[in-house]
Amino acid sequence: MLVIFWTVKKKEAIQRIETLRKELNSHNHNYYVLNNPVITDFEYDILMNELQQLEKMYPESYSADSPTQKVGSDLSSDGVQQGFAQCRHKYPMLSLSNTYDLQELYAFNERISKATEKSWTYNCELKFDGTAICLTYVNGSLERALTRGDGTVGDDVTQNVRQIASIPHRLKEGSGYPAEFEIRGEIFMPYVAFDKLNYQRELDEDPPFANPRNAAAGSLKLLDSKQISDRGLECTLYHLIAPERDFKTHTEALKEAASWGLPVSEFSKECNSIDEIAAYINEWDSRRKTLPFATDGIVIKVNQLDLQRSLGFTAKSPRWATAYKFKAEEALTKLLSIDYQVGRTGAITPVANLEPVQLSGTVVKRASLHNSEQMEALDIHLGDYVYVEKGGEIIPKITRVEFGKRLPEAVKAEFPKNCPDCGTPLVKDEDEAKSFCPNSDFCPMQQKGKFIHFISRKAMNINAGEATIEQLYSKGYIKELSDLYKLTSKELATLDKWKEKSISNFLNSLEESKQNPFHKVLFGLGIRYIGETTAKNLAGRFGNIDSLMQADREQLLATEEVGEKLADSIMGYFANPAHIKMIEELRSAGLIFSEEQDHKGSLSETLTGKTLVVSGVFSISREELKKYIESHGGKIGSSISKNTDYLVAGEKSGESKMQKAQKLGVQVISEDELYLLTENKPLLTLF
């Protein structure tokens, strides 16, 4: 009996190990490659801890591939495609073990005491929340800068790093630097620069970065180095590797590095005991809130370099260092009211208006409440004092209510039963916790949202903003998307402060938008669940709007990334005669509704006479991509030769193809760059 129980438990544990490994790998990808984590560091650390414990209990599950055994990789899936060469690290670039528990620091101390008879000290430093960098200086000049990559191989970002003002290109002459050495540290973005960047991104309709770390990591991988100097990145260095110099301690080494002109943190402290370390941690847990940049913990390092060497490394981190991580900062503030926002697809999102409060360097006035279930779980009342925390997303979240501060007369926040904009009873999707307003054709917020989506940069790229749509809509000039193309100068002249120049700019932009390829028009229609990639897939597979309209469920489902929900949504959309009429009007206005037309139109012949070889995995199937190329006049080549014009390299495109292309001087472009080419737009990078 016991054996059966044990076997079942073991089977479950092994399954859980597999699940955790998959989840953690996917979180690593979101964090290190996409710079867009979907969970907080704390949530990630809990999963990692669970995996470590299970692997300890079931050593037979060991795998060198487990996320417990290797550092999360920031390598762009294909170095060449992304514009960065990859380069091997001279010494592996590892991560740090971490804890949220002071008691574990005593255990860390205990392990070290077992390894030595001699006395030792620690150096405590801030844990900068940015992205790791490894710099090599040769004869006083910055020779190379590599990201951590997968710890063995990093992306060569030297060009970009040269644009960061605090990193010297040349060290101080005569300061005694070694002929060749490596120094590692963190590139980070101070809060001021982060706010400025996000403000600009919002104006440009680019998605804002959720936090300064993502912004720093994303900026470091920009393909155009010229943009870097404006991003306000900074650097602090914390690990010198200079074997030819016989430094005794880490503090001595860093002091020397500072004297060569390198940026080294001024906030570190040598400590003699864990109690001293605890005091340093306590001090910084509050002081960090006054720093102009983000820190997420304290790094504790054995100071004596000979002891560091004898302690060595595990597969993933040094045994001579660990990080004590601060719990995410939270702030207590008053909930003033709740807005129920209606999105363009009718989804209702509750957003809390808060008494402004300082949190991790920025003032927070709003926080997400996600949906009715979340509100119910929090048991939120108007006027409550609530804790807010910054998670993986851009808008902070409310984590809990301070029940002790609730007034007896406080009224429970009720999720509305009707649309706050048009009054239609809301419906709830069975598999989603979200509530929707089903009145998509008449609900004013949804209608305005549709126009805002249609004119957005990724769709029709029409030169207008939300305020213009607001006015055009409230004046009754636009009801259907097609009404945009019927606007007259006389009508536009009635808009607030609009003069001849703004009118002609807007009309020109409308005219230019007619040249947009079919997939952009399709995306712009705002059919629920059709994102940018799905629009490309559908355009590639069906070729034109008529075939798409006539497609049955089966045909739709046979398209890549089209599932039941999307198929229903597409069929529902085209079953509405008002939509068909509107599409006909857009067609008569001159918008492009077929790939064929793209190809015939002046913009689309850009690939005529060109031979393209495709390699790797793309957002659409290879067949669809080939069709796309052919429909734009291009020829598909089977192998790279000197007659090839472009190699379109997707993910996992083979190294040998890349090398051959480079050898023969064939231009390597990404899938997105192919679309730029077919739209006659300049490429971002030339390889």
Residues that bind ligand IVH (CB under 6 A): 94-96, 125, 127-128, 132, 186, 238-239, 299, 318, 321, 323
**Residue (294 or 562) nearer to ligand IVH, CB:** 294
Nearer to ligand IVH, 239 or 390 (CB): 239
Decide: 389 and 397 in contact? Cβ < 8 Å: yes
The amino acid present at 131, given as its one-letter code, is T
**E strands in 194-307:** 234-241, 269-271, 295-302
Backbone φ/ψ region at 44: left (φ over 0), alpha (ψ -120 to 50), beta: alpha
Q: How far apart are CA 527 and CA 524, in angstroms?
A: 8
Contacts of 259 (CB under 8 A, 6+ apart): 172, 175, 176
The least CB distance from residue 584 to ligand IVH, in Å, is: 57
Dist. CA 244–CA 433, nearest whole Å: 61
Q: How far is the CB of 186 from ligand IVH (least distance, A)?
A: 5
Phi and psi based region of residue 663 (left: phi greater than 0; alpha: psi -120 to 50; beta: remaining)? alpha
Residue 75: φ, ψ to 5°: -60, 130
Helices (H) and strands (E) in the chain, counts: 25, 22
Q: Is 127 a catalytic residue?
A: yes
Q: Of 127, 221, 397, 520, which one is the catalytic site residue?
A: 127
Pairing of strands 611-615, 635-636: parallel
3-class secondary-structure state, position 406? coil
Residue closer to ligand IVH by CB (options 238, 454) is 238
- Closest separation in Å from C-beta 564 to ligand IVH: 41
**Burial class of residue 626, CB neighbours in 10 A (0-12, 13-18, 19+):** middle
The secondary structure of residue 397, as a DSSP letter, is E
Nearest to 391 by CA among 546, 554, 219, 210: 210
Whole-number minimum distance, CB 94 to ligand IVH, in Å? 5
Shortest Cβ 298–ligand IVH spacing (Å): 8
Angstrom CA distances, 347 to 443, 451, 456, 479, 619, stand at 12, 16, 19, 20, 27
CB 166 within 8 A of CB 234: yes
- Report phi then psi at 316, rounded to 5: -120, -25
Q: Which is nearer to ligand IVH, 21 or 239 (CB)?
A: 239
Contact residues for 312 (Cβ-Cβ < 8 A; gap 6+): 318, 319, 320
Cβ of residue 208: shortest distance to ligand IVH, in angstroms? 23
Q: Between 47 and 684, whose beta carbon lies closer to ligand IVH?
A: 47
Comparing CA positions, the residue from 625, 618, 607 lying closest to residue 653 is 618
Encoded tokens for 553: 């469920």
Q: Are 362 and 190 in contact (CB under 8 A)?
A: no
- In the complex, the smallest distance separating the C-beta of residue 395 from ligand IVH, rounded to whole angstroms, is 25
- Smallest distance from the beta carbon of 280 to ligand IVH, in angstroms? 13
DSSP per-residue string spanning 67-121: TTTSPPP---SSHHHHT--EEE-SS------EES-HHHHHHHHHHHHHH-SS---
Residue 398 and residue 388 in contact, taking contact as beta carbons nearer than 8 Å: yes
Q: Which is nearer to ligand IVH, 265 or 569 (by Cβ)?
A: 265
Give 97 or 502: the residue with its C-beta nearer to ligand IVH: 97
Q: Look at residue 548 and give its three-state secondary structure.
A: helix
Residue closer to ligand IVH by CB (options 299, 548) is 299
Using Cβ positions, the residue closest to ligand IVH within the complex turns out to be: 132
Pick 96 or 305: Cβ nearer ligand IVH: 96
When the beta carbons of 78 and 186 are compared against ligand IVH, the nearer one is 186
In the complex, the smallest distance separating the C-beta of residue 390 from ligand IVH, rounded to whole angstroms, is 18
Instruction: Report the C-alpha gap between 358 and 330 in whole angstroms.
Output: 9
Helix (H, G, I), strand (E, B) or coil at 611: strand
Q: What minimum distance in Å lies between the beta carbon of 304 and ligand IVH? A: 15
Q: What is the DSSP letter of 480?
A: S
DSSP 335-352: EEEEEEEE-TTSEEEEEE
Encoded tokens for 269: 């402290």
* Least gap, CB of 299 to ligand IVH (angstroms): 4
For ligand IVH, give the closer residue by CB, 189 or 364.
Answer: 189
Q: Catalytic residues, which ones? A: 127
